[in-house]
């Protein structure tokens, strides 16, 4: 069942989204060679709690941290460790925040220092795919129009779309219907209606799309060890078109 949100709920999600966006921008500033993933997680958690937010991931199905931090070949759900960022890494940081009972979810993949041209292209294409997907989040379109647009951008650049991980509805729960795959045929899936709120999140690999789950039963990497990127925004379908709820006007966010 897809839960459509009231105008007031969408405004509440936008407030949560602003805090998500601000937190990711802060983490992007801190993410320099030498900082550990655990340090980043602690910084994020205190930043969020000081502002009245609750990290949605922490405790979600037993997940132990505020951030999911997934470096290099890791795609998503990396549990922060004592790994220290190194020059040339690409690091995906994924964050959900609950504020006054409403959730916003966003991810950004940062380059640490100077990164390779191929890595930069992977990040650019993933971000471009996210924008193309959001653009399809319009009344009268269908869910798979989003994935189709994402897939086009990613595959025409020669990269691959991860199939086994998908975007999702979001609102009072972290993961609501519908699933939002990053691939598909135009016109498939549920019709998009005003008030639907979706976390759109392309996860792409430089190599093959297959994934492996690590022994911690959370972190997931590309099976071939190729670099991976992940960008995510929470957006609302409105009569006026797609509204991104996790972007700020200034700073690093799309």
Counting runs of H as helices and runs of E as strands, what totals does the chain give? 4, 15
Residue 89 binds Co ion, judged by CB under 5 A? no
Q: Give the whole-angstrom CA distance, residue 61 versus residue 203.
A: 21
CA–CA gap between residue 201 and residue 62 (Å, rounded):
22
Which tokens in the block code for residue 60?
Answer: 């979600």
Select the residue whose beta carbon is closest to Co ion and give its number: 199
Residue 108 CB, nearest approach to ligand MF3 (Å) = 12
CB of 50 to Co ion, least distance (A): 24
Judged by CB under 5 A, does residue 105 bind Co ion?
Answer: yes
b/e string for 11-20 if b means 16 or more Cβ within 10 A?
ebbbbbbbbb
- Nearer to Co ion (CB atom), residue 65 or residue 115: 65
C-beta of 92: minimal distance to Co ion in Å?
12
Residue 41 interface partner, choices Co ion, ligand MF3, none, CB cut-off 5-8 Å depending on type: none
Please report how close the Cβ of residue 19 comes to Co ion at its closest, in angstroms: 16
Using CB under 6 A, list all residues that contact ligand MF3: 57, 60-61, 63, 68, 77, 94, 96, 105, 199, 201, 232
Nearer to Co ion, 199 or 227 (CB): 199
Q: Specify the residue, 31 or 203, whose C-beta has the smaller distance to ligand MF3.
A: 203
- Taking CB under 5 A as the rule, does residue 245 contact Co ion? no
Residues 6-65 that bind Co ion (CB under 5 A): none
DSSP string, 15-80: HHHHHHHHHHHHHHHH--TT-BHHHHHHHHHHHHHHTT-EESSTTGGG---S-EEEETTEEE-PPP
Q: Which is nearer to ligand MF3, 24 or 153 (CB)?
A: 24
For binding to Co ion (CB under 5 A), which residues are involved? Answer: 105, 199
């Amino acid at each position: 069942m897809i839960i459509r949100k009231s105008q007031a709920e969408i405004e509440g999600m936008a407030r949560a989204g602003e805090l998500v966006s601000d937190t990711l921008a802060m983490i992007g500033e801190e993410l320099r060679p030498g900082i550990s993933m655990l340090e980043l997680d602690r910084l994020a958690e205190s930043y969020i709690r000081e502002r009245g937010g609750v990290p949605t991931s922490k405790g979600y199905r037993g997940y132990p941290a505020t951030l999911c931090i997934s470096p290099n070949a890791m795609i998503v759900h990396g549990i922060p460790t004592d790994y220290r960022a190194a020059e040339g890494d690409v690091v995906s940081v994924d964050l959900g925040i609950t504020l006054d009972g409403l959730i916003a979810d966003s991810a950004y993949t940062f380059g640490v220092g100077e990164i390779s041209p191929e890595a930069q292209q992977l990040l650019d294409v993933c971000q471009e795919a996210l924008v193309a997907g959001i653009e399809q989040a319009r009344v009268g379109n269908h869910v798979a129009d989003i994935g189709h647009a994402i897939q086009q951008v990613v595959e025409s650049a020669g990269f691959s779309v991860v199939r086994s991980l998908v975007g999702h509805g979001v609102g009072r729960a972290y993961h609501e219907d519908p699933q939002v795959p990053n691939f598909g045929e135009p016109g498939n899936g549920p019709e998009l209606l005003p008030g639907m709120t979706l976390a759109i999140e392309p996860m792409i690999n430089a190599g093959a799309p297959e994934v492996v789950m690590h022994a911690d039963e959370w972190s997931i990497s590309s099976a071939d060890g190729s670099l991976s990127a992940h960008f995510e925004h929470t957006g609302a379908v409105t009569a006026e078109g797609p509204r991104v709820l996790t972007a700020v006007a200034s700073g690093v966010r799309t």
